[in-house]
Structure 1
Amino acid sequence: MTRIQDDLFEAVNAEWLAKTEIPSDRPRIAAFDELVIENEKRLAADMKALSELSEQESPELTQAIAFYKKAGDWTTRNADDFSAVKKELDKIASLATFEDFKDSLADIALHSQASLPFSFGVQADMKDAVHYALGFTGPGLLLPDKTYYGEDHPRKQELLDFWAKNTAELLATFGMADAEKLADQAVAFDGLLVESANSSEEWAKYAELYNPIAVEDFATQVTNIDVKAFVESLLGRLPEQIIVFENRFYESFDRLIAPENWELIKAWMLTKIARKATGYLSEEVRILGGAYGRFLQNVAEARNQEKHQLDVTEGYFSQVIGLYYGKKYFGEAAKADVKRMVEVMIKVYQSRLLSNDWLSQATAEQAVEKLDAITPMIGYPDKLPKVLSKLVVDADQSLYENAVKFDEILTARHYEKFSEEVDKTEWHMPAHMVNAYYSPDSNTIVFPAAILQAPFYDNQKQTASQNYGGIGAVIAHEISHAFDNNGAQFDKFGNLNKWWTDEDYTAFEKKQEEMIAEFDGLETEAGKANGRLIVSENIADQGGITAALTAAKLEPDYSAEEFFKQWAEIWRIKASTEYQQMLLSSDVHAPGKLRANVPPTNLEDFFEAFDIKPGDGMWRAEEDRVKIW
């Protein structure tokens, strides 16, 4: 039997690890996923019951249910002749030359299902978070991360081959001639993009990617399309600058998006349309369309029709379903208790910042000001985004045709926001999602209702120490993101703005390197951890567990054993090797076992609680313990 002194994760979760099976339609099972699965069952039953009613509690829910019913009408879906998809494919297939493509850019972006081989997106301006900026990136890659394209990657060729074969089958299903050639051309274009794409490690340092370019200078660099005309067609006016997030792609644009590559680009766009459509069509095409994703993650079977029906509906109505869920299942007592825990955690952080032994008083006071300005949002939002009122289901159109119409409405709204001020009260996660987040550009922390359940939180069956080891650590984790390697570069207003002294930030960078070194190269069953990719989440985990432990100690029934055991329980996970390999290369979070085992070893209380000594598997010498917040 594994001892806690040797492996906290294995010891605490031994019974669960032995008995729990990964569901056949999932790549993993974890504490988070168990709640997701229960929520799916609950919502599927609710949606079915709501489908029997003639009237819903809101117009948005009425449309969500109408779309849900269309998604579950398999008789109609299986009889679809794919004419609507063929119409979308024809829009691109009819473009004979690169000049045709250039002339059609605005129409493609605003009125088609095609993906462009570059992206202009509206988001809060990192240096002026009250207003929106126009960002520019490349189109992304077919494989999960740039590292997959290395010649020594064991899955590179088999994944590209499978994608091409699967995509050719889809194109043939839609009546496309030369389907295999088109798929191969798409893979060839993807290969041209690799060198210019950001790696996951580069994306993880998102605060460093902000590169504003004056529109005139952008148009001088990018000459193969009429940038100014295209951008004006999207926004209704020209912005003063464009924020470039992928510099290599920007610099390589005219070489990549060029007449000599048009046939490859065209093929790539056709495959994107075909693959995007599959979730709204017949059962046979739905299963075929998901085959690559299942192969990539080693998932045995597709999600059943009932789960798929909910998935598809959530694609457009997740906030509507989330608001329904929050109002029905989230109580005011739980909201008040979690709000209290947030307030306690912020006070703990204030104390820790002011007593920190490596920050100057000036920087510590600035940090406390930022902390005081954090806005917590708990449970579910007060209102839905207005654009959802425009998503009205047409009973005479197919599920796919309705999705096409909704995409056009949402795309128009996306670019329309550029002329408005940023709504910092808007939620970017529905209330029924088992997750939480910190938003640096609004300095907000959001805790959806769905995560406020056992093992994270239960105000009836779990002790205070268990709740702090669960949701308390998650709350403090999100607060810690305000002071991780990215969040620390944003001020209390959400602007990318240096508020540290030079000496303090240099010291902080040294602390970051210590955290990177602590995780870098750690072995997992799927490979080695990349300390640089996961540093921001590891800083947040360490800050989270440290602050939550400090808060737990204030409770009269404090138990260190309960606290650390609960911490290990919330990170329990089993996953396919292929899925783990994908996350090791692309996910900014450490594997669950490392999240459970490493942060406690930086805390003296952990060693005292379980009498851990030199020679034990969990021992870490005092001089090797990383302490930041």
Structure 2
Amino acid sequence: MSLKSGLDLSHINSSVRPQDDLFRFMNGKWLDESQIPADRASDGAFYWLYEQAEKQVRQIIEEQGASKSAVGSIAQKIGDLYNSFMDEARANELGTKPIAAELARAQSFKDAKEFHQLLGELEARGLGGLFYAYVTTDHMDSTQNIVYLGQSGLSLPDEAYYREDTYEQIRSAFTAHIAKMYELAGLANGQAAAKLILELETEIAASHWDQVKDRDATLTYNKKSFTDLKTITTHFDWPTWIASSATPEHVLENVIIRQPSYFEGLSNILGKFEIAKWQAWLTWHILSSTAPYLNNEIVQENFNFYGTTLSGIPQLKDRWKRGVGLVEGALGEAVGQIYVAKYFPEKAKQRMVDLVKNLIEAYRIDIAALDWMSQQTKEKAFVKLDKFTPKIGYPDKWRDYSKLTITSDDLVGNIGRIAKFSQDYELAKIGKPVDRTEWLMTPQTVNAYYNPGMNEIVFPAAILQPPFFDVNADDDAANYGGIGAVIGHEIGHGFDDQGSKYDGDGNLQNWWTDSDRTEFEKRADQLIKQYDQLSPAAAPDVKV
């Protein structure tokens, strides 16, 4: 009887010697034969497994949609949300009617107060705004939840797109896209609006932090009272915005402002209040935010810019795939509960527990052997390792969706109600104990994550399948090579340039000696310099 190794040998290129090129030996056949699907920009094992999970979830969702379920039941909500998206004929018939009232108001508000009122109303419906807000643990006190506020207001991926010459063609394509979207929506003066929108967003982008600065855990922790926030943003009408967005005042008593200079810059722009620019900007963001849920022409034009021009993806995903994605985003744990019962063997959980335990121990051995780190810092690192919390498969308790209303004939309305439900769910955490059982991914997600604020590593059920993990393998060698690499990667985030700033309890607290931090950064700089010299074979002028 032969043992089941868990290794997939079907992609080997036997014409390559493993000692010459192990990667091409193991994957050469796959590299030679595989084509990247037209609806995405890359491919690989993660994507293959994602496709399998996507098909499984589609079956779950369509089964719920086909059943005659009681109004208010999970099955009804899953089925009706999916069906409301899949009703392509109705979306085409309605066009922009579901947002006509909002578009009219955006083009006709008379002053800053009306602007802030409409901005708040739209915020509660998930239609974007000038800043984003989320609730998580206070990184200086991981026992408390707090609101984090961050920069937003842009249509392009980040501030560099508005200032660097490299992106001049993107900016030109962006204004053409706005004009085309205006035309498809039956709105006048699209070209003039596009010019105003680009001008205003360029002003906003000038106060945005760049990607390097924005990922710095220390720089982005700025705890402020609501009084401080109002002082920083003198020209933002908080009372009007709070009332219209239905934000309970107590949630803003203390906040973490990620980029204070952005909020100061935004306030200065609002102080000038060039009404024509703000009317064009708000009109555009209403249209752009809802574009994926409108008629086919608008959906396609939205994809042409954001999917193809910005991301290089040739083809829009099939409608069912987009529908599955919508349901997963809105009712992910409801779907996940069914997914786990149907596809996740309980014995996989214990096998993963053992793998994670062994990988953590391997980190301990490696840290102990470091010749550049002091014993003092090593001891703190061991304490952090001891406090790592693994979460495997699925959460211990499931989210309650009873307060969410979904109907089968109101797609855009469903999107708004989902956003309001999510906002209420998040804001309700303020003033309550931190729920350390909560997951930030659904069980059917093919991914994993490390959360520094809780010092936890999380592995959803969907990634615990071949080719990453084989619960039936007779030997764990392949599992260490597959999911073991993912486990090691996530543990590593606890000790990377930002994760290493958090202690074992999830607090932003320096546990390194100054000399050890210097030695760490010296080695990181060497790696950066090495990668700066690398170029893809197909793009020799581009540096990694």
Using structure 1 for the length normalisation, give the TM-score.
0.77
- TM-superposed CA distance for 1:390, in Å, is 1.8
Is the aligned partner of 1:30 residue 2:41?
no
In 2, Cα distance between equivalents of 1:279 and 1:105: 20
**What residue is the counterpart of 1:177 in the other structure?**
188
Alpha carbons 1:457, 1:470 under 8 Å: kept: yes
SS in 2 for 1:446: strand
| 2:161 paired residue among 142, 148, 171 | 148
SS in 2 for 1:257: helix
- TM-superposed CA distance for 1:289, in Å, is 2.4
**What residue is the counterpart of 2:57 in the other structure?**
43
Is the aligned partner of 1:405 residue 2:417?
yes
Structure 1 residues 96 and 287, CA, compared in 2 at 3 Å: closer, same or farther? Answer: same
Aligned amino acid, residue 161 of structure 2: Y
In 1, Cα distance between equivalents of 2:120 and 2:307: 34
**What residue is the counterpart of 2:143 in the other structure?**
130
- TM-superposed CA distance for 1:230, in Å, is 4.7
Is the aligned partner of 1:513 residue 2:520?
no
In 1, Cα distance between equivalents of 2:474 and 2:293: 43
Alpha carbons 2:204, 2:265 under 8 Å: kept: no
- TM-superposed CA distance for 1:465, in Å, is 2.0
- TM-superposed CA distance for 1:239, in Å, is 4.4
| 1:248 paired residue among 261, 266, 287 | 261
**What residue is the counterpart of 2:479 in the other structure?**
467
**What residue is the counterpart of 1:79 in the other structure?**
93
| 1:368 paired residue among 354, 361, 382 | 382
Is the aligned partner of 1:211 residue 2:222?
yes
Query: Deviations along 1:2-31, whole A, 9 cap, x unmatched?
Result: 655555444432211110001111111111
Is the aligned partner of 1:186 residue 2:185?
no
Structure 1 residues 171 and 408, CA, compared in 2 at 3 Å: closer, same or farther? Answer: farther
- TM-superposed CA distance for 1:255, in Å, is 2.3
| 2:516 paired residue among 483, 491, 504 | 504
Query: Deviations along 1:377-400, whole A, 9 cap, x unmatched?
Result: 1111122223x22222134x4111
- Worse-superposed segment, 355-364 or 483-492: 355-364
Structure 1 residues 347 and 151, CA, compared in 2 at 3 Å: closer, same or farther? Answer: closer
Structure 1 residues 176 and 481, CA, compared in 2 at 3 Å: closer, same or farther? Answer: same
| 1:107 paired residue among 121, 137, 140 | 121
Is the aligned partner of 1:196 residue 2:207?
yes
**What residue is the counterpart of 1:161 in the other structure?**
172
Where in structure 2 are the equivalents of 1:444-593 lying within 5 Å? 444-461=456-473, 463-525=475-537
Query: Deviations along 1:288-339, whole A, 9 cap, x unmatched?
Result: 3222122222222211122122122223122222232222111112111111
Aligned amino acid, residue 138 of structure 1: Q
In 1, Cα distance between equivalents of 2:376 and 2:88: 64
- TM-superposed CA distance for 1:521, in Å, is 3.4
**What residue is the counterpart of 1:344 in the other structure?**
358
In 2, Cα distance between equivalents of 1:438 and 1:373: 13
In 2, Cα distance between equivalents of 1:401 and 1:105: 17
Aligned amino acid, residue 409 of structure 1: F
- TM-superposed CA distance for 1:463, in Å, is 4.4
SS in 2 for 1:286: helix
Alpha carbons 2:66, 2:79 under 8 Å: kept: no
Query: Deviations along 1:334-359, whole A, 9 cap, x unmatched?
Result: 11111110111122223333343332
- TM-superposed CA distance for 1:484, in Å, is 1.2
Query: Deviations along 1:471-526, whole A, 9 cap, x unmatched?
Result: 01211211121111111111111110122223322322223223323323321247
Alpha carbons 2:232, 2:260 under 8 Å: kept: no
**What residue is the counterpart of 1:390 in the other structure?**
403
Alpha carbons 2:180, 2:190 under 8 Å: kept: yes
Aligned amino acid, residue 444 of structure 1: E
Where in structure 2 are the equivalents of 1:237-276 lying within 5 Å? 237=250, 239-276=252-289
Alpha carbons 1:235, 1:416 under 8 Å: kept: no
SS in 2 for 1:28: coil
- Worse-superposed segment, 476-485 or 94-103: 94-103
Aligned amino acid, residue 449 of structure 1: A
SS in 1 for 2:317: coil
- TM-superposed CA distance for 1:376, in Å, is 0.7
- TM-superposed CA distance for 1:148, in Å, is 3.4
In 2, Cα distance between equivalents of 1:509 and 1:307: 43
Structure 1 residues 46 and 255, CA, compared in 2 at 3 Å: closer, same or farther? Answer: same
Alpha carbons 1:114, 1:269 under 8 Å: kept: no
- TM-superposed CA distance for 1:114, in Å, is 3.9
Alpha carbons 1:224, 1:257 under 8 Å: kept: yes
Alpha carbons 2:69, 2:76 under 8 Å: kept: yes
SS in 1 for 2:521: helix
| 1:436 paired residue among 448, 457, 470 | 448
**What residue is the counterpart of 1:327 in the other structure?**
341
SS in 2 for 1:131: strand
> How many aligned residue pairs are there?
527
Structure 1 residues 344 and 137, CA, compared in 2 at 3 Å: closer, same or farther? Answer: same
Aligned amino acid, residue 268 of structure 2: R
Query: Deviations along 1:247-281, whole A, 9 cap, x unmatched?
Result: 33133233222334332233222211111212222
- TM-superposed CA distance for 1:50, in Å, is 3.2
- Worse-superposed segment, 121-130 or 219-228: 219-228
Is the aligned partner of 1:90 residue 2:104?
yes
**Structure 1 vs Structure 2 CA RMSD:** 2.7
**What residue is the counterpart of 1:288 in the other structure?**
301
Aligned amino acid, residue 232 of structure 2: Q
Alpha carbons 1:165, 1:180 under 8 Å: kept: yes
In 1, Cα distance between equivalents of 2:517 and 2:115: 48
Alpha carbons 1:97, 1:262 under 8 Å: kept: yes
Alpha carbons 2:130, 2:152 under 8 Å: kept: yes
In 1, Cα distance between equivalents of 2:23 and 2:217: 31
Identical columns (%) = 30
Alpha carbons 1:432, 1:448 under 8 Å: kept: yes
Alpha carbons 2:81, 2:411 under 8 Å: kept: yes
Where in structure 2 are the equivalents of 1:415-426 lying within 5 Å? 415-426=427-438
Structure 1 residues 127 and 83, CA, compared in 2 at 3 Å: closer, same or farther? Answer: same
Structure 1 residues 116 and 526, CA, compared in 2 at 3 Å: closer, same or farther? Answer: farther
Aligned amino acid, residue 467 of structure 2: P
Structure 1 residues 107 and 48, CA, compared in 2 at 3 Å: closer, same or farther? Answer: closer
Query: Deviations along 1:122-144, whole A, 9 cap, x unmatched?
Result: 33211112212232222153333
SS in 2 for 1:13: helix
Query: Deviations along 1:158-178, whole A, 9 cap, x unmatched?
Result: 322323222333333333222
Is the aligned partner of 1:117 residue 2:130?
yes
Aligned amino acid, residue 145 of structure 1: D
Alpha carbons 1:441, 1:494 under 8 Å: kept: yes
- Worse-superposed segment, 502-511 or 340-349: 502-511
In 1, Cα distance between equivalents of 2:267 and 2:239: 15
- TM-superposed CA distance for 1:226, in Å, is 3.6
